[in-house]
Amino acid sequence: MKLMSSLVLTLSLVLVSSASFAKGSGSLEIKIIPADASTSPTPSPSPAPAPVVPAPPQDQYLTYNFGMTRIGFDMPASFSLSNNGNVPLTISQIDISGFSYWTQSNCPSVLNPGERCYAQVDFRPVTRGFFQGRLTFETNGGNVYIDLSGWAQ
């Protein structure tokens, strides 16, 4: 037998007295509508799924101390940048700041998954004292800031 119209089933609920419930009654209405009913009401729209928002890129802050070196001598350090993700990493800029710090890099503008590149920093002081600088990798996966320091005598 096929149902051609909706079926309304009403259940009556009666609450009996207990330690945690009070006496009372109520009703619950459940409407069952067959899938092939020609008079089926328009379904209410489902709420749109929440958009998937990727986590913002995380910046990394690191430090590196070159220690003590003599005036006029180079103290080199090599820093690697690896793409451990599954999408290409865009490197928009590699920058060095600070007196007595120099850099060169083999990093391409796009680092594919599994690839690695290097930036070499030379601490080359020309006077005595304490020196600070910063090596920055700017990428679409977050920036990497490496604070540099070193002494010259």
Is pLDDT of 44 > 80?
Answer: no
Tell me the pLDDT band of 37, cut-offs 50, 70 and 90: very low
In CATH, what number does 60-152 get? Answer: 2.60.40.10
Q: pLDDT tens, 110-127? A: 999 999 999 999 999 999
Give tens-digit pLDDT for 74-103: 999 999 999 998 999 999 999 999 999 999
pLDDT of amino acid 16: 36
| 108 close to 83: Cβ distance less than 8 angstroms | no
Per-residue model confidence (pLDDT) at position 34 = 36
Q: Where are the domains of the chain?
A: 60-152
**HEC profile for the chain?**
CCCCCCEEEEEEEEECCCCCCCCEEEEEEEEECCCCCCCCCCCCCCCCCCCCCCCCCCCEEEEEEEEEECCCCCEEEEEEEECCCCCCEEEEEEEEECCCEEEEECCCCEECCCCEEEEEEEECCCCCEEEEEEEEEEECCCCEEEEEEEEEC
